[in-house]
Chain A
Amino acid sequence: MAWFEKAAEAPLRVPTEAVWTICPSCKAYVEKAEWKATDKVCPRCNYHDRMGCRERVALITDTGSFKELNAQVGPNDPLKFKDSTGAYADKAKATVEKTGIGEAVLTGTATIEKIPVVLAVMDFKFLGGSLGSGTGERILLAAEEALKLRRALIIVSASGGARMHEGIVSLMQMAKTCAATARLKEAGLPYISILTDPTTGGVSASYAMVGDLNIAEPKALIGFAGRRVIEQTIKQKLPDDFQTAEYTQSHGFIDAIVPRKEMKAFLAKILRYASGAC
């Protein structure tokens, strides 16, 4: 369920990294300029690399239309959690300062090809995109804003799952966010979920999987339990494509896999089909 499971796979550090980006998936060397031009999509293997929430907002909304909401909502430390590497409160504070985004999700209002929406975009950089109480609160408030304004809600997920340091309070954010999306649905409003790499654990098992449409980026890791946990449980190696967006789509849980370059136009098209609901 946890974002830490991936921590062991640190990116390769080579002297050429000033000029080259190494694709995290196929390890190909791609010139930094090209990496930027493709919006972090590997030209060789089509891996869609993780994106910061502000980059993502710029990619899918009309320029200058985004207005952040509830920036004051940040992490809480209900358990006064401390492990062998230190106190969670200190880590959370350092992360807020380093990333400048306040929580693992950025929320606000925006337009997409002039269609008004409420948007929530997760950021893996913020403690692995883990679902803390501040994250859940921001998402709930975003859903309530969509309800109030009678707009579609779009959530872009990127998360390893629950934030262990907030214990049971983190788990309850799954119920809390789903209570909010359920209300949107009762009001007949559209909710579109976009699953990016990775969307796993408590986030895949809550708001990310209950979109009217579930849209994924190519090759994104999407699943409930971690690969290692499953391999230990069933004592077998899993196939390479296990828990990819393509695997998840072929099993019936993803409506469309949309390349990054086409995402904004695709969302606008869907929103026009959904306009009768707003």
Chain B
Amino acid sequence: MAKKTVEQQETVQEVKQTAWDIVQIARHAERPNIADYITFMCDDFVELHGDRLFGDDRSLIGGFATIGGEKVMLIGHRKGRGIEENIEANFGMASPEGYRKAKRLMKLAEKYHLPVVSLVDTPGAYPGCEAEARGQAEAIAHNLEFMATLKTQMVIVVTGEGGSGGALGIAVGDRILMLQNAVYSVISPEGCASILWRDGTKAALAAETLKITAGSLKSLGIIDDIIPEPKGGAHTDAAKAVAAVKKAVLDNLAVLKKINLDTLLQQRYDKFAAMGRF
């Protein structure tokens, strides 16, 4: 029943909404961020800091959380609200220590038999000199291997911007869900436009061509489900938007917990192995 509603909403909205319009909603300054998810979705949250190697990335956070009575490990990119908070959060662009912290927390989740819930919202991994020096590529790459074989249930939700490798670095799991107005892409529309069209102003066209919206990704078989947003976007009613995410997370966890762990891991492997097999 809920699924039908989403599809109906989409049909209505697709007429007037372009991919580029959706990009604007996905990037909206007031879009619910991880702090809102913790406030509206979690009965309890214990933040755990640091990668035990270098530092504590404020762009990617995580910790124990209780969601509707379910104990989980919650990780996610962190965008701030306002300039000061955004500078501290580096606008959601994580560094190697963020990905390594996420890996440490996921490992802990496995040890304590807790499912992982990962909230994805980043323009991309931070493209900085220090990030390169400390192994941005290596940090993301090892997370991809690690998540593929992690022995616990993993639900991924792309809540805002799914920016390329920086998003994928915490986005391998058993279920990949996406908010109605989230986007997920191999490159930003602006980046793609400036490289392939040699014209940064062609971003709207690139956004359309790259097929980065939830509806397109569902058709491509990349994501499992679309979570509906309040009319106008999640920022118009954060509590309502987060409640829909909470429900989707709990529904999916309930299904995943019934699956034997070996079967679950085989299904996870098969899921990604099938991507791009036509």
Contacts and interface: CB of A to CB of B under 8 A. Distances in A.
Interface of A: 1-2, 4-5, 76, 78-79, 81-85, 132-134, 136-137, 140, 162, 164-176, 178-183, 185-186, 201-202, 204-210, 222-226, 229-230, 233-234, 236, 238, 242-243, 251-253
A43 to B, nearest CB: 30
B200 to A, nearest CB: 12
B239 interface: no
- Which size class do B's interface residues fall under? 35 or more
Going nearest first, the 9 A-B pairs with the smallest beta carbon separation are A133-B276, A225-B127, A178-B144, A179-B148, A204-B137, A224-B137, A209-B141, A182-B145, A172-B275
Nearest to A193: B141
B150 to A, nearest CB: 10
Contact of A178 (B133, B145, B278): B145
B128 interface: yes
Contacts of A166: 186, 276
A133 B164 CA distance: 16
16 contacts: A1-B165, A1-B187, A1-B191, A85-B196, A174-B165, A175-B172, A179-B273, A185-B145, A205-B140, A206-B144, A208-B137, A209-B137, A210-B145, A223-B137, A233-B128, A242-B132
A84 B195 contact: no
Interface in B136-161: 136-138, 140-142, 144-149
A174 B269 contact: no
A78 B136 CA distance: 29
A224 B131 contact: yes
A225 B132 contact: yes
A240 to B, nearest CB: 13
B2 interface: no
B159 to A, nearest CB: 16
Contacts of B168: 171-172, 174-175
A174 B171 CA distance: 11
A1 B131 contact: no
A162 B191 CA distance: 13
Contacts of B199: 84
B246 interface: no
B225 to A, nearest CB: 16
Contacts of B144: 174-175, 178-179, 205-206, 210
B125 interface: yes
Given A81-B209, A164-B196, A182-B148, A176 B272 contact: yes
B165 A172 contact: no
Nearest to A3: B195
B141 A164 contact: no
B272 A172 contact: yes
Contacts of A234: 128-129
A209 B129 CA distance: 18
Given A133-B278, A175-B168, A83 B129 contact: no
B184 interface: yes
Contacts of B112: none
Contacts of B248: none
